[in-house]
Amino acid sequence: MKTSTILKWITGGLEALLGIPFLGGLLILSLAWTPLYILLALHIITLIFSIRENQNKHGSILGIITSCIGWIPFVGMVMHIITAVFLLIDAHKSEQIKA
């Protein structure tokens, strides 16, 4: 399995966690927005690996945007859910292509 695929599964799962109503917001607020900074870094790293491995980059780019606007209530929640869906579908498709 390629590194970018593994990173997409990880970032997609974290985005899904932050997209859970109230729980995601509670995590972000209680940790002083640190999860957004960590996910921003992970999305940038995933984007770099996706470019190197010639994989789909859309989920990582959307994740970078989401990390930048994720502090806005409700908008952030919806963006986290959308980004999680994009990343998880992309990771699944990457595995199917290899098989």
Q: What single-letter DSSP state applies at residue 53?
A: T
How is the chain split into domains, by residue range?
Answer: 3-98
Instruction: Say how many C-beta atoms besides its own lie within 10 A of residue 3's C-beta.
Output: 15
pLDDT value for 96: 79
Strand, coil or helix: 37: helix
Q: Is the pTM of this model over 0.85?
A: yes
Query: Is there a contact between 77 and 21 (Cβ–Cβ < 8 Å)?
Result: yes
Residue entry with tokens 């806005």 = 72
Going residue by residue through the chain (99 aa), what tens digit of pLDDT does each one get? 899 999 999 999 999 999 999 999 999 999 999 999 999 999 999 999 999 999 999 999 999 999 999 889 899 999 999 999 999 999 999 887 765
Cα distance between residue 66 and residue 46, in whole Å:
14
Calculated CA dihedral for residues 62, 83, 78, 81, nearest 10 degrees? -170
The tokens describing 64, both together, are 């970078």
